[in-house]
Structure 1
Amino acid sequence: MRYPHAARHGRVHAMKQEVGQLAAQHPQLNSTVFYECPQDTDRLGQDYQRAGRIDAAAIREHALLADADYYLCGPVGFMQQQQRQLRGAGVEAARIHMEVFGSNAMASD
């Protein structure tokens, strides 16, 4: 199972401990974490594996499976970008599921 995850940085990394524990217990779980803006306290290779936003190349490398469903959650702009990239990589629209969350300030991004 592949689990790519994106966050702005470590202080807002949702479910970090839970996924880390699952990955340690289940070697078939491949977790790749992207921090858009790593902070001084974030450790490359330990807290996250890639700096920057997930892009089409990263999706193809870390997450693209022909028969998979894709679940996107986050601010609208982020999800729209990821949806476009998945569709551009050939993922059927019916396999892309989205849920908006974020602060009111982020909702207008």
Structure 2
Amino acid sequence: MRTDYRLWPYGIYLSPAFIYFHDRLYQPIVFAPWIDYYLPDRIITVASPLVPIAPDTRIKFETQLWLYNDGTSPTHDRQTRAKLKNLMDSIPTLKAEIARRKAVRA
């Protein structure tokens, strides 16, 4: 069975309060709120644990980042596939939600 790379992460929406990973169809997959840790000499901002989000959720964002472009699509580029696989392996919630959506489509 062929891998449907449209379900894999394609980009990130950034808003002042949240970070969202989205798929090739620009549907959000998982999201997390930003948390600021105030240290004596600096502020560290991290995303708290990611949780799944309904794919039809409308997102208000300020910035959008892409994880790859059409020339390096995971369908044809082995390095992009490896990078995305490492990303999904490092974020179990993201990997699980993609697997769930794949099962629903099957």
TM-score above 0.5: no
Q: Which has the higher helix share?
A: 1
With normalisation by structure 1, the TM-score equals: 0.28
Greater relative contact order: 1 or 2 (C-alpha under 8 angstroms, separation 6 or more)?
Answer: 2
With normalisation by structure 2, the TM-score equals: 0.28
Greater Cα radius of gyration, structure 1 or 2: 2
Q: Which has the higher strand share?
A: 2
